[in-house]
Amino acid sequence: MSEQPQKHTAKSIYGVLKKRILDWEYIPGQRFTEKTLCEEFAVSRVPVREALSMLIDNGLVIKERNIGCSVRKLSVEDINHLYELRTALELYAIDVFAAKPEAAVKISDLKLEWMEHALFSEEGDIDPVFWSDADEHFHQTLVNMLENPALSKALHDVNAQLRFLRVKDITTFARLKRTCKAHLAILESIEQGKPTEARTQLHKNILMGRNNVQESFKKALVQAFQ
């Protein structure tokens, strides 16, 4: 008796489409139609709509009235504007948070996590999606520690728009090591009660990421359209 093919769910369709976007198999601006996706995955419109909704919530896809869904498309100028906003939000948060007496205690788990990353990351191929998620988690966690829901949401919204680009940032072992070192320098400055130093280290870290994303974005865009 032959095995029946596994039926796709909204979650599995989301996973496939997300990977294609992050791997740039789908180029920025590429459109989706529910009909085509339903045919490809052999499902009804319900799981396809749910999968597309999840992609929209995660900032990978946009939906426009009378046009439909397409992969998020940003220009270099758009990226600069988003990074300027991200920098402003995070620098404000670190200024306030690092000056709090309880800051050193709050960051202990985050520091341990990145010490482990620095110690146990093995040279060789790395998973850019995993590390872009880890990097986003680090910065979002620092802002969340300020316990300002409006600020946390603002950064979350910016991160959602940058997510498919940041996967092009930490793609080599050397870049990963620099990230670990930068994150630990930020945390050590907070631990030592030096908000100005923490701000400087954070600014350098974000700038490094922005420059790397911009260059990788240009190269990936050229390759994707070839």
Residue-wise pLDDT for 129-161, tens only, equals 899 999 999 999 999 999 999 999 999 999 988
How high is the pLDDT of residue 179? Answer: 95
Which H, E and C letters describe 107-158, residue by residue? CHHHHHHHHHHHHHCCCCCCCHHHHHHHHHHHHHHHHHCCCCHHHHHHHHHH
Does residue 187 contact residue 112 with C-beta atoms inside 8 Å? Answer: no
Domain extents in the chain: 10-71, 76-225
The lowest-confidence range among 2-16, 66-80, 174-188, 200-214 is 2-16
pLDDT category of residue 4 using cuts at 50, 70 and 90: very low
Alpha-carbon distance of 172 to 160, in angstroms, equals 23
Check residue 122 and give left, alpha or beta (phi > 0: left; psi -120 to 50: alpha): beta
In this structure, of 15-24, 83-92, 182-191, the range with the lowest mean pLDDT score is 15-24
Residue 225 has pLDDT above 80, yes or no: no
- What pLDDT score was predicted for residue 2? 44
In CATH, what class is 10-71? mainly alpha
Q: What's the token pair of residue 203?
A: 């600014």
The identity of residue 117, as a single letter, is H
pLDDT averaged over every residue in the chain: 89
pLDDT of residue 221: 67
Q: What is the pLDDT averaged over residues 110-114?
A: 95
Residue 208 CB contacts under 8 Å (≥ 6 apart), including other chains = 178, 182
- Top pLDDT among 24 and 86 is at 86
If one compares 65 and 188, the residue with the highest pLDDT of the two is 188
What is residue 65's predicted lDDT score, i.e. its pLDDT?
85
The domain defined by 76-225 carries CATH number 1.20.120.530? yes
Tell me the mean pLDDT in the region 101-109.
94
Average pLDDT over residues 167-191: 93
Examine the pLDDT at 222 and tell me if it is beyond 80: no
Q: What's the predicted TM-score (pTM) here?
A: 0.78
- pLDDT for res 30: 86
